[in-house]
Every structure is written in C-alpha cells, then in structure tokens.
Structure 1
Amino acid sequence: MNCKLVNLYNEGVGEVNLNPSIFSVNRESGKLILHDIVKWQLSKRRSGTHKTKGISDISGTTAKPYKQKRTGRARQGSLRSPQFRGGAVIFGPVVRDHAYSLNKKIRKLGFKIALSLKYSNGKLIILDNIHLNSSKTSEMKKCIDSFKFPSCSTLLIVADYDKSISLACSNLPRIDIIKPVGINVLDLLNHDYIILTVDVLSYLETRLL
C-alpha cells in the first residue's frame, strides 16, 4: 500500500510503501482493545501515594477507656477506634502500585489498530526528513501551517532530531515532538494528526512485526 511522501512544506516528493500488517489492521473488537490499553497506561501513571491512618498509625493510649460492663454504655476497647474523634479510618486507601500486566500481543495489536485508524482517516502524514535551516519558531510554524490543519493537536514523531527542532517546536501550541521509542497508544489517540518521518517506519516494523 502506497502513501504520499511530502516534505516539511507539504510538497509532494514521491511515494512510500507502507506495510499493511501495521497500517491496515481492521478488527471488530478494536475499540475494546484500545480501551483496555488506555486503561492499562493510565493505571501505570497513577502515583498510588494516597493513604489514611489506620489504628496502628494513630498515637494515643492503648488502655481500655472504661470497664466492660455495668456502665450503661456500649463496650469500647480503644479511644483510637474510628467512632471517636481523631480515631482511625477503617478500610481506607493505602500506598500501593496501581499498575498491572497486559499481554504483549494485545499491546502490539492495539498499536497497529491505532496507526490503522489514523491512516484510514487521512490523519497520518509521512515526511522525507525534518531538517530546518534555523531554530526559529516562526519557521516551524510556517511548515505546520502549510498542512492546513484545523485547530487541533499534532504529534511529530522523529527518529533523530537536534536541539534546533526541539526549540522550534517548544513554543508552538498543540504540537508535541517525540522519538520513536516513546510512541504509545494513548498519545496516538490524544492527537488528531500524526506526522512521522520515513526512518520511523523501519523502527515500527522492527517493533511490531
């Protein structure tokens, strides 16, 4: 399957062959797979540092407040119990890791489905290279404006870029630039358009096939 190859100014410079095993994957359960992967990624992001004090964390006396019987009141064993002011919290959150494992085959399939969705919707653009003559933001903005994107977010995936590219993109709103090693399903879905260079295609084939 062929795809138009353009330069930074959206001028056609030829065609590039895309692997259909990556960019043409259609599955009826694709939405469910993407949902599972997004949940898995968001769970890994959670810090898990929320915590409440249990009865062993409360400082206070360990003595029985009053005798067990013949007081006319309910029996009590500790003033650190949750029914008393300043007492513990029962079954409250504790520090823990929210991450869980997900099958590698499912992760690869979700990756392919996300890329296939972008390609089928015409929101995947292949660049020949990303070399700028200057590191000015205005120059990079001129290049992005040539694609005539609507007001939406764009993810730029470049295998190897220097500091000038990073500086040129840093002040542009809704433009993110990452290296191929950082590609993930959540970023692909969170951005409306995906722009990647030709050398990223070989990395994707190595990673997903």
Structure 2
Amino acid sequence: MKLKVQSLGAAETGEIELNDAIFGLEPRADILHRVVTWQLEKRRGTARPTRERADVARSGKKFGRQKGGGTARHGDRRAPVFIGGGKAHGARLRDFNPSLNKKVRALGLKMALSSKAKDGQLIVLDSLTVDGGKTKALAEQLKTLAFGNSALVIDGATVEQSFAFAAGNLARVNVLPTMGANVYDILRHDTLVLTRAAIETLEARFNG
C-alpha cells in the first residue's frame, strides 16, 4: 500500500510504501473489542476493601443474655450496629486487572492501524516541526489538512517538542510517541496522523 507524504502545510513531499502485514489487514470487530475492553479494564482503579463482620478482630463471646436483658438478642460485638464492628455491605476487593495474550494485543493494534488506512483516515506527515512552537501558526497549517473533528498524532520515539507545545492548546489534537500507540485512542479519533519516523518505528517494532 502506498500513501502520499505531506508537510504540515499540506504540500506533497513524496510517497511511502506501507507494510501490508501491519496496515493492510482486514479489521475484525471481535479482536478490536477484546483489546479495547482489556485497555479500559486496566485503567480502572481497585476499590479499597472494608472489613466486614467476619474480618473484625473482636471477642466472639455472646453479648448479654438471650432473654430478660431488655436489649436486642446480639450474638457478639462484631455486629455492624456497634462501634468497632464490621461494616455492613462494605466495598469488596475487585480485580480489574485482566490478562490478554500479547499476540492478540499486537494483532489488535495492527487492525486498528489497518482500519484507519482502509477508511482513508490515515495521514502521513514528513515532520512535525512548527516554527516557534506557536499554537496560532499550527492552527493555520492544520486548516489545509483534513483532520476532521479530532486527530491523534503519533511521532517517533519522542514527540517533536515544537509540535507538542503548539498542539497543547488544541483540544481536538492529541499527541503520542510511538510507544504510546494503542487501539482505544486510535479508534476514538476521527483521523490518525503518523510521521515517517512513527511508521519506521512501528514496522521495526512488529518485525523485531
């Protein structure tokens, strides 16, 4: 698969050959769903568990007589109605750290990249250098590129600092290094923007 390479000003600077094993796969909804679900579950925080009646270290001796004491018939001091007793229906420790095979995760990322290339939502840029790192200058340049309502820009091992500074105030543009590329962020943006360095790093990552 060949795509044209553009500058930030939308000037064509050449072509690039994309690896069909990474950008030419047929996307499968079940694989993408598994990877996105895994990502979102990994983000969830675990609730701090509370001690319930069985977890409180207090005497198990029966509290008072069964009858004739004028009070309720409590079994011991662990009951939730007493100070220091266990909490009733407290927060439980829940595991939101599922596992997913590395091959499935890698396949999901390839399919996410392929889906953007297949739908014509992939843009390849030569570089991300912005003069002065000014947001106004970048916004003017992006008007000539079909970024859609939102765009995810992925650079090489490190993000070009001038572009990162300039894009910091643009709500519809998010920037990541290649190591941060993930299925969820790719799919939830209208447009995926890759630099030459990002493509080279991704292809080396999957072929290595």
Q: Would you call these one fold, judging by a TM-score over 0.5? A: yes
The answer (yes or no) to whether the contact 1:158–1:196 under 8 Å persists in 2 is: yes
Map of 1:208 onto structure 2: 206
TM-score (norm 1): 0.85
Deviations 1:78-116 (A, max 9, x none): 24335x476534664334542122101101110111011
Q: How much does 1:142 deviate?
A: 1.2
Which residue, out of 190, 193, 197, partners 1:192? 190
Match of residue 24 from structure 1: 24
Deviation at 1:73, TM superposition (A): 9.3
The one-letter code sitting in structure 1 at the alignment partner of 2:53 is I
Q: Which residue of 1 aligns with 2:104?
A: 106
Find out whether 1:8 has 2:8 as its counterpart. Answer: yes
Q: How far apart in 2 are the matches of 1:35 and 1:162?
A: 31
Does the 8 Å contact 1:6/1:13 carry over to 2?
yes
Matched, 1:158 2:155: yes
What count of residue pairs does the alignment treat as equivalent? 205
Question: Alpha carbon RMSD of aligned pairs, Å?
Answer: 2.7
Q: What is the deviation of 1:50?
A: 3.6
Q: Are 1:174 and 2:172 counterparts?
A: yes
Structure 1, residues 117-161: CA drift from partner, whole Å, max 9, x if none?
Answer: 1111111100111112211100111121111433x1111111133
- Contact 2:159–2:175 (CA under 8 A) maintained in structure 1: no
Structure 2 residue runs without a partner (length 5+): none
Q: Deviations over 1:11-62 (max 9, x none)?
A: 21111100000111115xx111111111111111112034333126658775
Partner residue in 2 for 1:146: 144
Kindly indicate whether the alpha-carbon contact (under 8 Å) linking 1:47 and 1:97 is maintained by their aligned counterparts in 2: no
Q: Match for residue 50 of structure 2?
A: 52
Distance in 2, Cα, partners of 1:69 & 1:89: 26
Distance 1:155 1:40 in 2: 20
Aligned residues of 1:48 and 1:98 also touching (Cα < 8 A): yes
CA distance in 1, matches of 2:90, 2:205: 42
Give the match's secondary structure for 1:126: strand
Counterpart residue number, 2:127: 129
TM-score, structure 2 as length reference: 0.85
| Alpha-carbon distance in structure 1 between the residues aligned to 2:103 and 2:159 | 30
- The sequence identity of aligned pairs, in percent, is 37
Deviations along 1:159-205, whole A, 9 cap, x unmatched?
Answer: 13343222101111111111101111111112111111011112111
Give the direction of change, closer, same or farther, for the CA distance of 1:71–1:161 in structure 2 (3 Å limit): closer
Counterpart Cα distance in 2 of 1:52 and 1:198: 51
